Amino acid sequence: MEPSSPFRCVALIGRYQTAGLGATISAIVSLLCDHGVKVLLDADTAESVRDPRATSADMDQIGKSADLVVAIGGDGTMLGVARRLAAEGVPLVGINHGRLGFITDISLDAWRAALDAILEGKFAAEDRTFITAHAVRDGETVWSDLALNDVVVSRSSRSGLIELEVAVDGIFMYSQRADGLIVATPTGSTAYALSANGPILHPRLAGLVMVPVAPQSLSNRPIALPDDVEIRIRVVEGREPRVSCDMQVFSDLQVGDDIIVRRAPFTARFLHPLGYSYFATLRSKLYWHEFPILPTKNS
């Protein structure tokens, strides 16, 4: 069948452990086949779903072959997919089969109409900032990774406060004792950073936010920075320090290590249904439209 879509090859990546996901993926495969699109399934999902109309592929093959990737799961699934395919620049669509769904913005009951329209070329595109983190010890990089949400330098759960020294573009900013420090992108400003009282940054802002986690001094406040700066975080004191990217990949640190955070040279491209609104997402996920529930006389 001649493809009716500008996307000739679409990959599906699901949180294959989720109950009921197989039926959703099979239904999406049917829709893609109706459009004459070649369908790839990531190897783990293919092993779980076993749909003969789709071809199993590893992430390298997906990055090289797919014109579009559809992630079916929660925000964690979308974050992992975005990081794995970041350098390939493949557009991403997120269908929420999880809980909150900030970046998997297509609801499970609306995926058919939304994906049908996207396959016909009716969508809004949005680029999201990535940041990189490098752990440097004695002048050598000992670990590096990529984050779409945030880079977090923190203490372990079994130790006391961690002391950090922060410099921006080589200029000393401050020292602080806290549970940790978050450097978040605009995408990540509604994740861990928000729970630590950081500000919300609109995704189109060219900025980063740095948010201390439970600082010893209440004068240590969140701060927004341009996204073209280099942030150096040095571990001055603390037992069992560590660094994480998107709270999915971790590395242990040592006192004296520097964590260098920079904007990545590429972005994640998200595709949304026409009419998508970031503010509608905030209202829905943060319950801005809800009135407070007041106690009754009998409660």
Domain boundary assignment for the chain: 9-121, 130-265
- Which of these, 281, 277, 271, 280, lies nearest to 118 by C-alpha position? 271
φ and ψ of 193, to 5 deg: -60, -40
The phi and psi torsions of 64 (rounded to 5 degrees) equal -85, -30
Q: How many residues does the chain have?
A: 299
CATH topology of domain 130-265: Tumour Suppressor Smad4 (2.60.200)
- Please list the rounded mean pLDDT of every run of 10 residues in the chain (299 residues): 77 80 90 95 87 93 96 94 94 89 90 95 96 97 98 86 97 96 98 96 96 91 97 95 96 97 97 93 83 62
Count of beta carbons in the 10 Å neighbourhood of residue 279:
9
The answer to whether residues 28 and 73 touch, using CB atoms and an 8 Å cutoff, is no
Structure tokens at 22: 């197989």
Beta-carbon neighbour count of residue 25 at 10 Å? 26
Burial class (CB in 10 A: 0-12, 13-18, 19+), 278: middle
Q: Identify the DSSP state of 189.
A: G
For the chain, helix, strand, coil in percent to 5 are: 20, 40, 40
Q: Output the pLDDT for position 45.
A: 86
Q: In whole angstroms, how far apart are CA 156 and each of 153, 182, 240?
A: 10, 15, 6
Q: Residue 23: what pLDDT?
A: 87
Alpha helices in the chain (DSSP H): 21-34, 43-49, 59-65, 75-84, 111-119, 192-195, 278-286
End-to-end CA distance of the chain: 63
**pLDDT value of position 16:** 65
> Are 5 and 33 in contact, with CB atoms under 8 Å apart?
no
pLDDT of res. 291: 62
DSSP-assigned beta bridge partners for residue 92: 69, 270
Give the list of residues 6+ apart from residue 57 with CB closer than 8 angstroms, or none.
11, 40, 41, 42, 43, 46, 65
**DSSP string covering 7-42:** -SEEEEEE-TTSTTHHHHHHHHHHHHHHTT-EEEEE
Query: Which residues are marked as active site?
Result: 75
Assigned CATH for 9-121? 3.40.50.10330
